[in-house]
Amino acid sequence: MTIPVQPIFPYPPPRVEGYHTYLPPQVQPVGSLLDDKEYKQNVNPPKLFEPVTIRGIEFPNRAWVAPMCQYSADDGSLTDHHFVHLGAMAQRGWGSIMIEATAVVPEGRITPQDCGLWKDAQIESYKRVVSYVHAVKGVIGIQLAHAGRKASTVAPWTSREALEKGYQGGTVASEEHGGWPNNVVGPSPISFNADKFPSPIEASTEYIQSLKKAFADSVERCKAIGFDFIEIHGAHGYLLHEFVDPISNKRTDQYGGSLDNRIRLPLEIAEIMREKWDKPLFYRVSATDWLDDTLGPEKGQGDGEWAWWGIEQTTILTQKLADIGVDVIDVSSGGNDLRQKVRPGPSYQLPLAEHIKKAVPNILVGAVGIITTPHQANDIIEEGKADVIFMARQVLRDIDFPLEAALALGVAVAPAVQFERAWGRMMVKRDHNDDPQHKHGITEVQGEEGVKSKRSTPPEIHTSIP
Ligand SMILES: Cc1cc2nc3c(=O)[nH]c(=O)nc-3n(C[C@H](O)[C@H](O)[C@H](O)COP(=O)(O)O)c2cc1C
């Protein structure tokens, strides 16, 4: 007896063309708004879910992952940890994913286990991650960095364990442990902390020239990998921040002294990169060293000289970066002076972003720092204080934040097709238009857990839960 076969769906099933293993295609980017003709609650959506297009790259929403060092690379190459860590983000609806601080030269790593893009052999490991993220319709970029005088240290957990076991020394990675304490470079021979960090050597003119080339070469590797954007790391007390800061930079050549001289190197690097890279370019800045309490105003009242690095100079630097064609300024702070007095709390760095947003209209502004809830993130954009939100620790605590935020803000966004069954409560079609009461009203409890996705109605084939 032959059993009649009824063709009920196309076979073989569709797959992402060109990807090396089977992957079902995502209907649309994960975390992007579902069609507002079907999902009326998406008419006039909260700004956190408004897409933004920069130089032809569409970021499906404005909840973006900030760069986060994992100290888990192997001679600069990404490992399975990165594939899982970053790949998981691509499944969860972040508007943008950024690979952590990645050194353009080996001595520019914070630890021996940092990511690096100083040689072609490293390209393949990045391609593996980027191809996966692109295959699921995600957007991914990289932060290019040089750690300056804070290089050749050990990962935080290594130093913590050592201290717990009674070790009295600093955090320097010795040569025996893969470090390069005698080849740590800064603008001037001034240590970040003589007890715990290496003593840097002053970058020679030749070194500065070779560094510019290293950034340019890394951009070529980024092109080969296929990144969507690049961020220049100019914050947190690493090399470019050290150069702009009058306390860490005591040079007497064209890279030290006046503000124009101190910001020369970041501007030269940004210019070289802008010439080579036609996709979005970001710059992360430490907008203040938080030294008001310790040293008084940023510009000394007596002599009118800049006393320390703060928001006024940051604004001047940002204007020049915008004029060069940098697209996004990612506004962080601190990390270059042990005397800093930071008062962390929700959105504590936002006033810095807001200041820049008001002063420099021709650049998009990213806010970062203890932004952890959907309404907090959305309000920042709705109120025009920043254009996008970067999040770090909340990503590690709650990788589903974008979809949970959609639920909390009352809109429906695409989950990964494989995860749809978990998000039925968010994908409920509601008839009302943009009634704010409802827009912000639906909660997980009110939402209809168990309601099937109404995005499409495929034939019901599975009757049991696998
Ligand atoms: C684990 C971890 C690693 C980080 N690594 C980087 C990095 O590679 N580059 C960078 O600019 N900032 C780095 N940061 C700082 C974050 O990007 C972010 O600015 C900071 O954590 C504040 O945001 P949050 O309150 O959302 O965590 C790191 C933060 C964390 C928690």
- How far apart are the C-alpha atoms of 118 and 217, rounded to whole Å? 8
Atom number in ligand 1 closest to CA 368:
23
85 lines ligand 1 (CB under 6 A): no
Residue-level pLDDT at 163: 85
Best probe residue, ligand 1, of 64, 69, 282 (max atoms within 8 Å of C-beta): 69
- How far apart are the C-alpha atoms of 324 and 318, rounded to whole Å? 10
Taking the centre of ligand 1 as the mean of its atom positions, its distance from the CA of residue 392, in whole angstroms, is 5
> Between the CA of residue 31 and those of 15, 204, 358, 365, 420, what are the distances in Å?
20, 47, 29, 21, 12
Judge whether 197 lies within some domain: yes
Residue-level pLDDT at 439: 39
- How far apart are the C-alpha atoms of 351 and 52, rounded to whole Å? 22
Residue-level pLDDT at 113: 98
The DSSP secondary structure of 108-126, one letter per residue, reads: G-SSTTSEE-SSGGGHHHH
Judge whether 276 lies within some domain: yes
Query: Are 306 and 299 contacting, i.e. CB atoms less than 8 angstroms apart?
Result: yes
> Between the CA of residue 58 and those of 32, 280, 312, what are the distances in Å?
10, 10, 32
Residue-level pLDDT at 34: 97
Judge whether 419 lies within some domain: no
pLDDT in tens, 147-200: 999 999 999 999 888 888 888 878 999 999 999 999 999 999 999 999 899 999
Q: Does the active-site annotation cover 238?
A: yes
Angle, CA of 180, 182 and 185, to the nearest 5°: 90
Catalytic residue selected from 71, 132, 238, 283: 238
Query: Are 231 and 279 contacting, i.e. CB atoms less than 8 angstroms apart?
Result: no
- Tell me the residue range of the domain where 69 lies: 47-405
Best probe residue, ligand 1, of 85, 236, 342, 393 (max atoms within 8 Å of C-beta): 393
66 lines ligand 1 (CB under 6 A): yes
Judge whether 58 lies within some domain: yes
Residue-level pLDDT at 21: 96
395 lines ligand 1 (CB under 6 A): no
Cβ-Cβ contacts under 8 Å for 21 (sequence gap 6 or more): none
Judge whether 218 lies within some domain: yes
Nearest CA to ligand 1 atom 6: 68
Taking the centre of ligand 1 as the mean of its atom positions, its distance from the CA of residue 195, in whole angstroms, is 24
Residue-level pLDDT at 221: 98
65 lines ligand 1 (CB under 6 A): no
Best probe residue, ligand 1, of 81, 99, 100, 391 (max atoms within 8 Å of C-beta): 100
Taking the centre of ligand 1 as the mean of its atom positions, its distance from the CA of residue 434, in whole angstroms, is 35
Judge whether 21 lies within some domain: no
Residue-level pLDDT at 6: 72
> Between the CA of residue 64 and those of 60, 92, 285, 391, what are the distances in Å?
10, 11, 17, 6
Judge whether 219 lies within some domain: yes
Taking the centre of ligand 1 as the mean of its atom positions, its distance from the CA of residue 336, in whole angstroms, is 15
Judge whether 6 lies within some domain: no
Taking the centre of ligand 1 as the mean of its atom positions, its distance from the CA of residue 263, in whole angstroms, is 23
330 lines ligand 1 (CB under 6 A): no
Atom number in ligand 1 closest to CA 394:
26
Atom number in ligand 1 closest to CA 233:
11
Taking the centre of ligand 1 as the mean of its atom positions, its distance from the CA of residue 259, in whole angstroms, is 27
What CATH number is given to the structural domain containing 319? 3.20.20.70
User: How many domains, in total, are found in the chain?
Assistant: 1
Q: Which residues of the chain fall below pLDDT 70?
A: 1, 4-5, 10-11, 431-466
User: Mean pLDDT of all residues in the chain?
Assistant: 92
Taking the centre of ligand 1 as the mean of its atom positions, its distance from the CA of residue 391, in whole angstroms, is 8
